[in-house]
A and B are shown apart, each in its own frame.
Chain A
Amino acid sequence: MGFDFEYALSIVPQILKALPTTFLVTVLCCFCAAVLAFAMEFTRRSGRILGYVMRFIIDAIRSTPILAQLYFVFFVLPFYGLTLPPMVVGVLGLSVYYSGYLAEVYKAGIDAIPRGQWDAAKALHLSRWDTISVIIAPQMLRNIAAPMGNYFVSILKATPYLAVIAVPEMLGEAFDIASDTFRYAEPILVVGIIFLSLALVIAQLVRLLEERMQQSLKR
């Protein structure tokens, strides 16, 4: 059974039907994870007790398999009366999982900011929120644009996990086709190429963003 190019082309539209879902999940997760990680990282830095609690939560998120987390929300929570649509569970699960990693990236990005920046903000009597939002966050983002972009690509690549909780994303779609026709090479290759193209687009966008942010330093 050789590779059938014509067949490969013919299944593209069917797989692309799931593209909007994959795209939506990716965008939502990138956004939610980025915001959640921000809140988590600054909570970790705020108080002593709150900081320890948050550190534990972040470590716990990063030390459990993503599938376990997804199964937990999807199968265990309904047992206690909380049933959420698969899409919501998926976005929630992936966002929380990656927020743990992004919080670590943020931490590195903040640690790289000289202490004098915090001192100056304090000496100018800025509130904590102003310090974070106007002084620290912009410099942090500039420090971490590249690793953050990597995690955005990771989030894209993690969307197939959602197949296990019945979210109709692309790899799941490809698998459905494969199990109907018993031809695996074509659907898997097609879906691989689509993922590759999307990842390249994200990487390029991040690079452009990074260059723009670096400019204020280079000038």
Chain B
Amino acid sequence: MCSSITDKTEVQNAVTISELSKFYGEFEALKHIDLEVTQGERVVVCGPSGSGKSTLIRCINGLETFQSGGLEIFGEAAGGKRNGKTDPRHKTGMVFQNFNLFPHMTVLDNCTLSPRKHKRGTRDKLDALALEVLDKVKIKDQADKYPSQLSGGQQQRVAIARALCMEPEILLFDEPTSALDPEMINEVLDVMVQVANEGNTMICVTHEMGFARKVADRVVFMDAGEIVEIAKPEDFFSTPKTDRAAEFLSQVL
């Protein structure tokens, strides 16, 4: 879409975060965060509970406002607050820990709602597109069911399909497998690997280290509202540079 804005040969930044600070009242949940994610890159964010991982990715798509610093999506500045239809955050899609499917709509309607409201095409065309995506996450046969009729793993796959139907340029995941029963985690991870391999830009908060090793280009480790360490997964897991990361890894691995 805006691939021609920069004429550099290097890959474009999908997300550029600079000096971003976020306060909840007096409490500084994000402290001067700097992070660049290039187009097509897969980044895994991890860190102890309360370190600000959710807050960070919620800032990227505007679910949270921030007080200072900058956020750019494909080179376009996104302010602390949302800014109507032209907001560059419209290029993001998000998958939540608790799925957050709309319980009063069928699986198919969940997937087509946003494209329909954004007039992406006729109902038939959007239905066909959604079914294609649902097929990809292996849940096409459930298209006419309601979310409450599905298992957790199935619901999360629908949520991924719903995000994909927006054809977002950046996919955000916030602990997509944390609310699942252990036996359902893999079916969701498999879909996420597949999505990752299709070249999407992904920022994924997760403690699934196997997933991180398999698909992540970089691992971002956060603690107490700061980015403590950024490294390639193989380096991060074998030789963490900081004590805080080492301690965290000893707990989750």
Cβ distance B251 to chain A, nearest Cβ, rounded Å:
27
A123 near B98: Cβ-Cβ < 8 Å: no
Q: Which residue of A lies closest to B118 (CB)?
A: A125
B94 interface residue, CB < 8 Å from A? Answer: yes
Roughly how many angstroms separate A130 CA and B113 CA in the complex, as a whole number?
A: 10
* Number of chain A residues close to chain B: CB under 8 A: 21
CB neighbours (8 Å) of B207 from chain A are none
Cβ distance B244 to chain A, nearest Cβ, rounded Å:
29
Identify the stretch in B17-25, B100-108, B197-205 within 8 Å (CB) of chain A at 4 or more residues. Answer: B100-108
- From B61, B102, B117, give the contact of A127 (CB < 8 A): B117
Roughly how many angstroms separate A126 CA and B84 CA in the complex, as a whole number?
A: 10
B93 near A120: Cβ-Cβ < 8 Å: no
Roughly how many angstroms separate A7 CA and B113 CA in the complex, as a whole number?
A: 62
CB neighbours (8 Å) of B146 from chain A are 216-217, 219
Give the residues from 115 to 160 in chain A that come closer than 8 angstroms, CB to CB, to chain B: 116-117, 119-120, 122-127, 130, 134-135, 138-139, 142
**A interface: dominant SS:** helix
Q: Which residue of A lies closest to B172 (CB)?
A: A123
**B interface: dominant SS:** loop
A122 near B62: Cβ-Cβ < 8 Å: yes
A124 near B162: Cβ-Cβ < 8 Å: yes
B166 near A217: Cβ-Cβ < 8 Å: no
B98 near A134: Cβ-Cβ < 8 Å: no
Q: Which residue of B lies closest to A127 (CB)?
A: B117
How many B residues touch the partner, as a band?
20 to 34
Q: Which residue of B lies closest to A213 (CB)?
A: B104
A125 near B149: Cβ-Cβ < 8 Å: no
B148 interface residue, CB < 8 Å from A? Answer: yes
- From A117, A125, A216, give the contact of B90 (CB < 8 A): A125
- From A114, A123, A138, A217, give the contact of B63 (CB < 8 A): A123
Cβ distance A183 to chain B, nearest Cβ, rounded Å:
54
Give the residues from 102 to 149 in chain B that come closer than 8 angstroms, CB to CB, to chain A: 102-104, 113-114, 117-118, 145-146, 148-149
Roughly how many angstroms separate A219 CA and B96 CA in the complex, as a whole number?
A: 24
Other than the known A124-B93, A216-B146, A217-B104, what 15 A-B pairs have Cβ atoms closer than 8 Å? A116-B96, A116-B98, A116-B100, A119-B100, A124-B166, A125-B89, A125-B114, A125-B118, A125-B166, A134-B113, A134-B117, A138-B104, A216-B104, A219-B145, A219-B149
Roughly how many angstroms separate A134 CA and B104 CA in the complex, as a whole number?
A: 10
CB neighbours (8 Å) of A122 from chain B are 61-63
For this complex, 26 residue pairs linking A to B, each with C-beta atoms less than 8 Å apart, are: A114-B100, A116-B98, A117-B100, A119-B63, A119-B96, A120-B96, A122-B63, A123-B61, A123-B63, A123-B163, A124-B93, A124-B114, A124-B162, A125-B89, A125-B90, A125-B118, A126-B114, A135-B102, A138-B104, A139-B104, A142-B104, A216-B103, A216-B146, A217-B103, A217-B104, A219-B149
Q: Which residue of A lies closest to B87 (CB)?
A: A125
Cβ distance B78 to chain A, nearest Cβ, rounded Å:
13
Roughly how many angstroms separate A7 CA and B98 CA in the complex, as a whole number?
A: 66
Roughly how many angstroms separate A64 CA and B166 CA in the complex, as a whole number?
A: 49
CB neighbours (8 Å) of B114 from chain A are 124-126
Roughly how many angstroms separate A219 CA and B144 CA in the complex, as a whole number?
A: 12
Q: Which residue of B lies closest to A135 (CB)?
A: B102
Q: Which residue of A lies closest to B99 (CB)?
A: A116
CB neighbours (8 Å) of A116 from chain B are 96, 98-100
Q: Which residue of A lies closest to B102 (CB)?
A: A135
